[in-house]
Amino acid sequence: MAGPSHAPLQTRRQLLGRIGTLAGSAALYQAMTSMGHAMGTDFSGPPNLSGAKPGTSVLVLGAGLAGMLSAYELRKAGYDVQVLEFQTRSGGRNISLRGGDTVAELGGATQKVGFAAGNYLNPGPWRIPYHHQALLHYCREFGVQLEPFIELNHNSWLHSTGFFGGKVVRYRELAADFTGFTAELLAKAVDQHKLDDLVSADEVAYLKNAMRGWGALTPDLQYTKGTLSSLRRGFEKPQGGGPDGAPVPSELMNRDEIWKSGMWNWMAFHERLDMQTTMFQPVGGMDSIGKAFARQLPGLIHLNCKVTAIHQDNSGVSVTYNDMGHSGAVRHARADYCVCTIPLSILSQLDVQVSDGMKAAIAAVPYGSSVKLGLEFKRRFWEEDDKIYGGISFTNQPISQVSYPSHGIFSKGPAVLLGGYMFGPAAYDFAGMTPQERLEKGIKQGLAFHPQYRKEFLNGVSYAWSRTPWTLGCCALWSEEARKTHYQALCAVDQRVVLAGEHASYVGCWQEGAVLSALDAVTRLHKRALGAA
């Protein structure tokens, strides 16, 4: 349990310094945690890369967040750095789509984005948890403006085709009734001394009281239709002003359908560390981050470079690439060291001269498929008609969710919502359709929430990560088994080459993983360059 000590700040810092010196970083970590300092992901500040030998060169492959941050920190430390990037843009999976953009995918389909000015979809990362401290640190350092991303919305819709007559319910209704019925059952079990083997006599009274208060139970431990429950789930006739202002309580949902529907999964979802409040998004689109990172590296990023081989010997690393801006001309680059951030799905197809262990690791990790739909509508009917401001509506249909923009709330004019976010099998199904079919499917399923869809629809775009030529998937999906067998080999500095990216972290599929991996990789590469490791 983390909590700050009450010692003065300077004394604490001195103490931490002493612990760090005496006992190594594990003890320091332990001490910091118990003082409430360390939390969230494992970030303790920018790396210390002092003492770099002048003239030492590093080739960075890939200009996503991991590549650009590696280049930034290494160059700051005094290394000569160059970045080779396959795409015609930097940023990697950090993307925002806007009106006029083109999405070309494997299989030949090309979409032109039709959004109105100012509107966007983040097809890759789209939210930043509070504990992604490394990413937040660099956002601040590079001047990326952030705003709250509304993840949990008590007024959003939940929908499951087989339950509650297929009708939508409000999140607050489900949450209140789930909580109330759970509390009622446990309170009664305890009250009737059925759990005396598990709960001490001393604990019983407090537990009952907790269930009553938390579950909005009546004094006799019932969860029933009435003011208490409606002050959680909402009233049938809400509270008003004047003589007719008295509210009318609302009906409860069926208890057994609540468990059976599985809708409680969406309550649990918001309690996951990665989905907790407060979350953030960059103002204007996620690619504000990629652009800010790129601004730190003027002249160092070379676009259109399709790497085909990475070789190394005792004196350096040689990279072969096709210069796609010049008819694919074969070129070579050489440096003392290399940070390779190319996704494993691509890297596994290249000629890479590393240890057998690292090769096996590179080949061992499958990439997930995901598809996102961005739908633009004439107006914010979810706000104006449904009173939903940001947050997510969930369904058991393949689209899985509809997420409403956290920015521009209450504004007029066209707006874009996330009309579907598929992962796993549903993502493969959607990736197999034409872009037009995907939109049509997304609209049809979204009608469960919003009958306004057909009337208000303007245009849309879909983004299928499995059809994206430079990643062939959205991110590395480590199994526990693969992690055990291959993770250390993947992360090790292999002579003069080190890999970085979300795939080389325990924060997979998040930008934070890419950033933390990069910081870790350059720290170890630096030690290697100094001959210390």
Please identify which residue in 13, 53, 140, 332 interacts with a second copy, judged by CB under 8 A.
140
Please give the residues from 120 up to 139 whose contact with a second copy meets the rule CB under 8 A: 130-131, 133, 136, 139
Task: Tell me how far apart the alpha carbons of residues 495 and 299 are, in angstroms, rounded to a whole number.
Answer: 28
Please identify which residue in 89, 98, 225, 255 interacts with a second copy, judged by CB under 8 A.
255
Task: Tell me how far apart the alpha carbons of residues 501 and 521 are, in angstroms, rounded to a whole number.
Answer: 9
Please identify which residue in 242, 298, 299, 531 interacts with a second copy, judged by CB under 8 A.
242
**Site membership for a second copy, residue 348 (CB under 8 A):** no
**Site membership for a second copy, residue 206 (CB under 8 A):** yes
Please identify which residue in 126, 164, 463, 478 interacts with a second copy, judged by CB under 8 A.
164
Q: What's the length of the chain?
A: 533
Please identify which residue in 385, 424, 436, 444 interacts with a second copy, judged by CB under 8 A.
385
Least separation in angstroms between CB 45 and a second copy: 12
CB distance 224 to 182 below 8 Å: no
CB distance 46 to 73 below 8 Å: yes
Taking each helix axis from N to C terminus, what angle separates 264-271 and 171-191, rounded to the nearest 10 degrees? 90
CB distance 204 to 299 below 8 Å: no
Query: Strands of 57-61's sheet, edge to edge?
Result: 301-302, 80-84, 57-61, 337-340, 497-499
**Tokens standing for 449?**
């929430």
Please give the residues from 447 up to 466 whose contact with a second copy meets the rule CB under 8 A: 447-452, 455
**Site membership for a second copy, residue 409 (CB under 8 A):** yes
Least separation in angstroms between CB 383 and a second copy: 10
Task: Tell me how far apart the alpha carbons of residues 474 and 471 are, in angstroms, rounded to a whole number.
Answer: 7
Task: Tell me how far apart the alpha carbons of residues 386 and 188 are, in angstroms, rounded to a whole number.
Answer: 37
- Measured from the CB atom, is 227 or 436 closer to a second copy? 227
The site string for a second copy over 285-314 (x = CB under 8 A, - otherwise) reads: ------------------------------
Residue 209's contacts (CB-CB under 8 Å, 6 or more residues apart) are none
391-395/157-159 β-pairing: parallel
Least separation in angstroms between CB 304 and a second copy: 28
Please identify which residue in 91, 92, 390, 405 interacts with a second copy, judged by CB under 8 A.
390
Q: Which stretch binds a second copy (CB under 8 A): 49-57, 299-307, 336-344, 442-450?
A: 442-450
**Site membership for a second copy, residue 486 (CB under 8 A):** no
**Site membership for a second copy, residue 356 (CB under 8 A):** no
Please identify which residue in 15, 19, 20, 42 interacts with a second copy, judged by CB under 8 A.
42
